[in-house]
Structures are given as structure tokens and as C-alpha cells.
Amino acid sequence: MYTNQTAEELDLMRCTSEGIFKAQNSNWTKFVCILVFFLIFLTFFLSFKAAKMLKNRNIYSHGSQILLLSTLLNANLNQAVFLEIKVNVSSLSSVKVKYFQIRQLIHILINSKDPCKIEFRSSECFYDQSVYAFSNILSTALVSALTCDRFIAFLFSHIYPMHSKIVSIFLLFLSMFFTLLIHLHTYGGVSRAGYVPSCQYPPQLSLDAFDIVNSINFWFILVNCALTVVILLLNFNRDKKVKKSVFDTKIKYNSFENLLTTKAICSITFTQFAFLSFSTGAVTIISSIEAGISEEVFHIVAQSLTGLVYANVSIPVIILLKTKQCIEQRRISIDKMTTSTNHADYYMTSLRASWEKF
């Protein structure tokens, strides 16, 4: 990557290096493009089902429901922008015909023999790269908001149910606000000079800030993973105490419900953090060993492992699986509690009848 040049020098470097040229022409890069198309459309389909389930069979608090839907919406936005990076809809006004131009794949195939045309001008990627980068950061912020939502629900369990919507709106505002600050810090005022292998790449003059933000993001994700585990353990401990010391059926069931939904949301957040840390860590690792590997391998790995395509697919999958699991566990628990209550009522009636004989 050209990181030590001025904007004027970057614009003069029209022809790409041999390593990037080979990476762009590799069969693996073409395969990744096709795989991405499949995963993105799979995300759209599964997200529709997940959103429908969250609306019609919601088992979470209203606040958690809002945050889950927001996370789902951002995942689809990120996938849609990434699809736009790979697929560009253009129109030929002269013949009034519209056609799909598979931006990166077709661009590579058409210019596979010309190293001076195979890359994209960075300025042409302004809108899609900006939205893509913003939604990348927002993904981490929204999943962190879900973790904070569960932590607040634990600390203020008595008042949280009445104010869960306000909490979720406040957390959404914070997520958007900090995402905007980070985005402006990384890309604000940066020249879009030079050329990039794909529009998912950040502008070359923003690489230093991008690497710093990426490293901080990685450690932030690890801290959130630890917090997710702590929240889950605290809820397990509270539920165990309720079972031992409280005999009110309603309180015991509410504790069970809270633990059930917390387990589901923590599973969603932990899975997301795992994928996000993998994606973020991949960028950090390949950046740190860039000098020790060939340029061709670096760019093949960069385009294959980075981004949130895999993480975004997992969101609707985990929501569907955990929600169905919670519904089934809730049904089993209600059946058990109803049966035990009936047995207790029968026992007390029999006991009362026996005492009345005396």
C-alpha cells in the first residue's frame, strides 16, 4: 500500500503493483465475490424471518426488542452497501437498456490484463465506502448497546421493565453519536487521492487513523466479551438465590424469564463479538505482518477475511434459533409450574378435608 506519498503522488500512481495485480486476478478473489453474493442474499432472507419473529412472537423486553431490530437493520444496511460495492446497477441512456455490472468481479475480468485499469479510483468510492465504514463501526456500537441494556436490566431490575424503551432509545443515541465521532475522526477531511483494489478499502491517506481505530475497536470488543460473561454469571447467581429463598411463584417465574432472555441476548452478543473480533483481529494481524508476506497474499487475505459479511449472516440465524429455544423452554417451564401448582392445590384440599373430620 502507498502510505508515504502525498495526494498528488498517489494520483500519479495509476498503474498498480505486480502483487495487487496478481491478487485481483486470482481465482480465490473471484470465488470470494461469488460467495459474498450468496451470503448477502441469505442474510436478507433470514433477516425477514427474524424480524417477523421479533414482531409477532417477541419474548424480549420492548427495549431489547428495539435494539435487536436496530442491530438487524444495520446488518442488512452493511450487507446492502457491500453488495453495492460488488454489484453496481448502471443504465445505458443511449439504448434505454439497464444492466447489472458486477463492479469488482466484472471490473477484474475486463481489466485482467491491464494493471493500469484494474484498480478503482478512491474518489469514486466516496459514498459507498463512507456508508460501509460507518455501518461497520455502528455494528460494534449496537452490540455493545445490547450488552449495556442487559447490564442495566440487572442493576435496576425493579424499574427497568417500565423504562426499557427509554433505555434503548438512549443507548441507540449514544451508539450513533460515538460512531459518528469515530467516523469523522478517521475519515473527516481526508483526501480521496489514489487508487484502491476494492471500494471496501479505506482511503490510503487515512490508513494510520484506520489502524489505530481498528486496534482500539479490537480491545473494546474483548472487554465487551468479558462483560457479557460477567452479566450472564450474575444472572445465573441471582436466579439460583431466588429459587432457594423465594417461594412466590410469580417472582420465581419472572426470574426464570429474565434469565432466559438474558441467556438468549448474551448468546447473540457473544457470537457477534466473536465474529467482530475475528474480522477486526484479521485486519490487525495482516497489517502487522504485511512486511513478512507477499503483497499478493496480503490483499487476497484482506479481501477474504475482513468486513462483516460473516458476522451479519449470523445475526438473524442466532435470533431465530435462540428465540425458538426460549419459546420452547418457556412452554416447558409453564407446564411444570402449572402441574406443580395443581398438585399443591390438590394436596392442600385433601389436607383441609382430613382436618375437618376431627
1 in a structural domain: no
Q: Quote the pLDDT of residue 243.
A: 74
In sequence order, the 6+-apart residues with CB closer than 8 A to the CB of 281 are 218
Buried b (16+ CB within 10 A) or exposed e, 310-327: bbbbbbbbbbbebbeebe
Q: Quote the pLDDT of residue 98.
A: 35
Q: In the numeric block, which cell numbers belong to residue 243?
A: 429459587
Helix (H) or strand (E) holding 239: helix 207-245
In sequence order, the 6+-apart residues with CB closer than 8 A to the CB of 144 are 175, 220, 224
135 in a structural domain: yes
- Determine contact, residues 241/122, Cβ cutoff 8 Å: no
Q: Quote the pLDDT of residue 212.
A: 87
Count of domains for the chain:
1
CA-to-CA distance for 102 and 118, rounded, in angstroms?
14
CA-to-CA distance for 260 and 271, rounded, in angstroms?
17
SS3 percent helix, strand, coil of the chain, rounded to 5, is 80, 5, 15
Q: Quote the pLDDT of residue 75.
A: 93
| Residues paired with residue 90 on neighbouring β-strands, in sequence order | 99
From the list 169, 159, 158, 157, the residue with the least C-alpha distance to 64 is: 169
Q: Quote the pLDDT of residue 340.
A: 56
Q: Quote the pLDDT of residue 111.
A: 55
284 in a structural domain: yes
2 in a structural domain: no
Q: Quote the pLDDT of residue 197.
A: 73
User: Cα 7 to the chain's mean position, in Å?
Assistant: 33
CA-to-CA distance for 77 and 267, rounded, in angstroms?
22
Tens of pLDDT along the chain (358 residues)?
445 565 555 555 656 666 666 766 677 777 777 888 889 999 999 999 999 999 888 888 888 899 999 999 999 999 988 887 766 533 333 333 333 334 555 555 555 565 666 667 777 778 888 898 899 899 989 989 999 998 998 888 888 888 989 999 999 999 999 999 999 999 888 887 777 777 777 887 888 888 888 888 888 888 888 888 898 888 888 888 877 776 666 677 677 777 878 888 888 888 877 887 777 766 667 666 666 677 677 767 776 766 688 889 989 998 999 888 888 877 776 666 666 555 555 545 654 555 554 4
CATH number at residue 39: 1.20.1070.10
Q: 143 is in which domain, residue-wise?
A: 7-356
Distances (CA, A) of 252 to 59, 255, 258: 17, 5, 10
Whether this prediction's pTM lies above 0.75 is answered by yes
Buried b (16+ CB within 10 A) or exposed e, 63-102: bbbbbbbbbbebbbbbbbbbbbbbbbeeeeeeeeeeeeee
